[in-house]
Amino acid sequence: MSQLTKEWRFLRSGWIYAFVLTGKQAAATELVSKALKEVVERNDLVSSRRKRRLFFTMLFREGHKIPRSATTEDGSSPMLTRLHGIPEPGRSALALLHLRLFAPDQIAVIVDQTEKQLPDILKTARNDISKSVPATP
């Protein structure tokens, strides 16, 4: 993916986000492929920023149709398993924030919330993930 044009370099982050949503590599790849196909077929998307935002919005919406499947028993990382324990839209908002591709107002649009709600959503998600971290002796 390092040979992608600048306009499409967000695809790597998109796959990571899809992996966070699904917990499985194959499901993440399928989700990204489906969203990418839809974005490419759209003739009304001129700017790279709009393509990127629509792509991640599609991942968010379609990702909810796929059951969360990351567990430590199947070899998933403990962090991914903890992320899967966070309810939406907090899980996605937190993941998107850490990918650093979008400003907070755009994250709110992607997760179908208002910008005013985003700080509380992120606070709750951070609290949820910190509660799931095992205490160190």
How large is the average pLDDT for residues 28-47? 87
More confident residue, 9 or 75: 9
Domains of the chain by residue range: 6-131
CA triple 25-27-30, angle to 5 deg: 110
| Whole-number pLDDT of residue 71 | 57
Chain centroid to Cα 66, Å, comes to: 13
* CATH assignment of 6-131, among 3.40.50.10420, 1.20.140.160, 3.50.50.60, 1.10.10.10: 1.20.140.160
Return the higher-pLDDT residue of 64 and 96: 96
Q: pTM of the full predicted structure? A: 0.83
**Distance of CA 115 to CAs 21, 43, 121, 125, Å?**
22, 28, 10, 16
Q: Is the pLDDT of residue 70 over 90?
A: no
Residue 121: the pLDDT is: 96
pLDDT band, residue 41 (cuts 50/70/90) = confident
